[in-house]
Amino acid sequence: MSERPEAWPVLDHAELGSMLEYVNRVVQVAGKYSLDDPFEVGWGNIVLEVSPRGLRTPTFRRNGVTFTVHYRLLDGDVVIETDGAARTLSLGRTSVADFYTSFCEAATKLGIPHPRSAQICEIPAAPPNFEDDRAERVWDAHSARLIWEAFDLAAGGLEAWQAPFLGHRPRVGVMWGGFDLSATRWRPKRTDPGPKGPPFMRNAQLHEYVSVGFSFDNTHADGSSPLDIGMYAYIWPQPDGLTGRSWGVEGADWHPDLGLALLPWQNLRRLPDPHGAIVRFGDAVYEAAVQTAGWPSDLVGPRVDGWYMSEHQPSEHPEHVGHQG
């Protein structure tokens, strides 16, 4: 699939920063419900779907009520939808504290329990809890659209990369804590994450995995000047031999100080086929895992382009009618 570079927007962190701070906080409100769902390796149970209009939680079932929460970034509101009714909350001029209060009031009317945690996570400069964040937030529709568009475009590439993996792979989606779009491949080989780092990170590092994703803020480990918006990737545990490798795409490079391979958005959007570049970047990362960390190459099936169930007989197996991309 070929995309014109101008179809992928310019992203400027200085322009988007205020909205990123706001959206990152409010998606954590409904995101908290996912913490009480059955745990999936790598926190696959918590990811938010990139929907046609924003970000949506998984479907939850609490107290006999089935519901989902849709953060409609293109509409500037939040829809809590249940099997019995729905409520719409504005994301206009308000504070995180006021939004949280409105959310809990709406949940009560719908028969949904309040989120069991009000803690703001993984945002160092944020107040400790939703009720404490009283800074006025002004909705910027243009920035909100850019945030959604970046997630949507990156998700398309990551889903295509993830499709042929035969092992455990949680849904491609937005981790509402760090607010990054994540695609991970796991294998059942235990590791020792050690005592350092927050509990959620140590929990995720109990097994080996390869992660490819998109972030608006690939920040230095010491919290200093953020790097370019764009794609990131890493292998856990980090093997030796990653320096000097090719990462499949012009402009992608290894940053040993961060332990990340990075593909800046400004480079990605200029390529003739950004969607395909994300797939090639991910493939290069997995190949690095095969060559340096002993990952099995046979965990990846054929990538079939041009074979669609709507156009071919079910008896035609894609391995025989397509080709490896």
| d(C-alpha 106, C-alpha 70), whole Å | 14
| d(C-alpha 300, C-alpha 278), whole Å | 17
Which segment of 166-170, 259-263, 309-313 scores lowest on mean pLDDT?
309-313
* pLDDT per position as a tens digit, 68-100: 999 999 999 999 999 999 999 999 999 999 999
Q: What's the confidence (pLDDT) of residue 107?
A: 98
Alpha helices for the chain (secondary structure H):
13-31, 96-109, 141-162, 199-204, 265-268, 274-293, 318-321
Residue 272 pLDDT > 50, yes or no? yes
Could you give the angle at the alpha carbon of 127 between the alpha carbons of 92 and 14, nearest 5°? 60
* pLDDT per position as a tens digit, 150-206: 999 999 999 999 999 999 999 999 999 999 999 999 999 888 877 777 776 777 777
Arithmetic mean of pLDDT over the chain: 90
| d(C-alpha 292, C-alpha 191), whole Å | 16
Peptide bond into 237 cis (omega under 30): yes
User: Under 8 Å CB-to-CB from 222, ≥6 apart: which residues?
Assistant: none
Q: How many CA atoms lie within 13 A of 216 on its CB side?
A: 28
Closest CA to 58 of 94, 89, 27: 27
Burial class of residue 22 (count of CB atoms within 10 Å of its CB; 0-12, 13-18, 19+)? buried
> How much of the chain, in percent, has pLDDT values that exceed 70?
90
Q: What's the confidence (pLDDT) of residue 129?
A: 97
